[in-house]
Amino acid sequence: DGINWTVMNTPTIASTKRGGALCYSPELGLFVQLIKDTVVAQQSQALISIDSSNWRLINVPGNSTTHNWNDVAWSSSLGLFAAVSGSVSDVPGSGTTNTQMIMTSPDGQNWTLRTAIANNNTFVWESIAWSPALGRFVAVGLGANTGGRNYSMSSTDGINWTGAITPNGTGY
């Protein structure tokens, strides 16, 4: 009813980890929650559940240095989850670039890294959504070596991405 809430137990995770974005697939009957880690080089993880009462911890691609997964979305049309990442290695001044900042999964359990847009800048992708009306994923984030320019990228299949510069600002 949205008024009365029940606390559910989840698998024990390290104290350096915290729950992140949550998404639900009605077609799969599956919740996916990304786990964020504050310690460098820890295995990236997610929680999955079919009933919101019993959760299973799974490993996903990357680690907290290369991939700190920020957001996840579900496309009913594609039958696909897509998640976006920011990482320690993409912080301004780090001198490194990681272009595989997207992961996709048809089942919420098996994930594949995908290449985001790249144009000699590093990006911290913050948010992703699926638009049924447009038939595409759209992700937004900050270009780290661009003087604070915001960027967006979109994909009609979750695999191939194109980008655009959005209005200047200090990030999302």
92 neighbors 121 (Cβ within 8 angstroms): no
Instruction: Note the pLDDT of residue 85.
Output: 86
**Residue whose structure tokens are 């009957």:** 29
Instruction: Note the pLDDT of residue 94.
Output: 47
Q: Dump pLDDT digits (tens) for 132-163.
A: 999 999 998 876 655 666 788 899 999 999 88
Q: For residue 125, how far is the Cα from the chain centroid?
A: 8
The span from the CA of 63 to the CA of 124, in Å, is 15
Which of 12-16, 36-40, 81-85, 86-90 is least confident?
86-90
Instruction: Note the pLDDT of residue 172.
Output: 45
The number of CA neighbours under 13 Å toward the Cβ of 5 is 4
